[in-house]
Amino acid sequence: MIITIDDNSGFCFGVTTAIQTAERELQKGQLFCLGDIVHNGQEVERLDKLGLETIDYDDLRTLRNVRVLLRAHGEPPSTYHIAKRNNIEIIDASCPVVLHLQKHIRETYQTLHGKNTGAQIVIFGKKGHAEVIGLEGQTNNTAIVIESINDLDKLNYTCPIYLFSQTTKSVEEFEEIVAEIKKRRSEIETRDSELGSQEIVFEYHNTICRNVANRVKRLQDFARSNDVVIFVGGKKSSNAKVLFNNCLEVNSCTLFVSNIDDITSEILKQCHRAERVGICGATSTPKWLMEEVRRYIVESI
C-alpha cells in the first residue's frame, strides 16, 4: 500500500501569515487572539500551549491595554472601534485578499447609500461566519446574506443587485446563483420592457479566493489518483466542507476525519484493502496533522 500526502493541501498564505505573526508576536509578550486563529482545533491547541489566548467579542469589550491579534478572516469596523476605545493594540493579520474584498464592498455601499434605489448588496456566504460578519460590517449590516440558491427568494428582482462572495465558497455554486438571478431578472425585464421601464442593474463579482478556487482541480486530480482518500479538516471549517465534497464528487471512497481519534477500525479496514491511500486537507489543515494521520494509519495496519 502506498500512502501519499497531497502537496497542495494545507494552509493558504493568509493563514500561514497569521500563524507566523502570532508566533512572532508571542515572543514579545502576552497576546490574545479574537476567535480561533484557524478553524482547526489541533492547531489552536498548539498555539494555546505557546501562550496565545483565544477570546470572544464579550472578552474584547472588557479588556483594556492589551494586544489582540486579528486572524485572517478579517473584522468589521466595530472591532476596531472597540479596540480604540479600550486602548487595545491591534495586531492585524487579516488576509490582504479579504481586506481587498472588504474595501470593494465598503466602496459599493458608500456609492449606493442614501440614493433610495432599493439597491441590495448580497453576500453569498455562511451566515455567522467570521469573514461574513466582517463583510456585513462594511455595509452597516444592511447586506443580505444568502447561503445557497434556495435563499434567492429573499431578493427583490425589481431593484438593483450587487453580488459578492465569501472567499472560500464554491465557484460552481456561485455561478449557479448568478445564472438563477439572471433568469429571474430576465422574466421581470421581459414583463417591464412592455411597460417601457429602464433596465435594472445586476453586478456580480466572483470574489472567491484564487488560492481556494485553484485548489479544487488539483485536489480532485489527487482524489481520483487514489483508491481511498482521507480528508483531514476541522468540523467548523466551511472551506473543509467544500473541499471534502469536491473530493467526494470524484472519489466516493473519501472519508472525513478531524484527527487521529476519528480514524475508526472501519476506516483502517478500507485503507488496508486499498493499493493507494491519499491524505489531503483544507486551507486550515496543518501539514503536521496530515503527517500524524499518515503515521497513525501506517502503525495501525
Torsion of CA 207, 288, 17, 124, to 10 degrees: 20
C-alpha to C-alpha distance for 253 and 247, rounded to whole angstroms: 9
DSSP 197: P
Instruction: Please give the residue whose beta carbon sits closest to ligand SF4 in the complex.
Output: 14
Q: Which is nearer to ligand SF4, 101 or 277 (CB)?
A: 101
Q: How many CB atoms lie within 10 A of CB 86?
A: 15
From residue 238 to residue 277, the character string flagging contacts with ligand SF4 as x (rule: CB under 6 A) and all else as - is ----------------------------------------
Q: Which is nearer to ligand SF4, 39 or 185 (CB)?
A: 39
DSSP 150: G
C-alpha to C-alpha distance for 66 and 57, rounded to whole angstroms: 14
From residue 30 to residue 69, the character string flagging contacts with ligand SF4 as x (rule: CB under 6 A) and all else as - is ----------------------------------------
Q: How far is the CB of 60 from ligand SF4 (least distance, A)?
A: 21
Residue 71 half-sphere exposure toward CB, CA atoms < 13 A:
24
C-alpha to C-alpha distance for 270 and 300, rounded to whole angstroms: 12
Q: Examine residue 14 and tell whether it contacts ligand SF4 (CB under 6 A).
A: yes
Q: Examine residue 167 and tell whether it contacts ligand SF4 (CB under 6 A).
A: yes
Q: Examine residue 282 and tell whether it contacts ligand SF4 (CB under 6 A).
A: no
Q: Which residues bind to ligand SF4, rule: CB under 6 A?
A: 12-15, 72, 95, 97-98, 167-168, 209, 211-212, 283
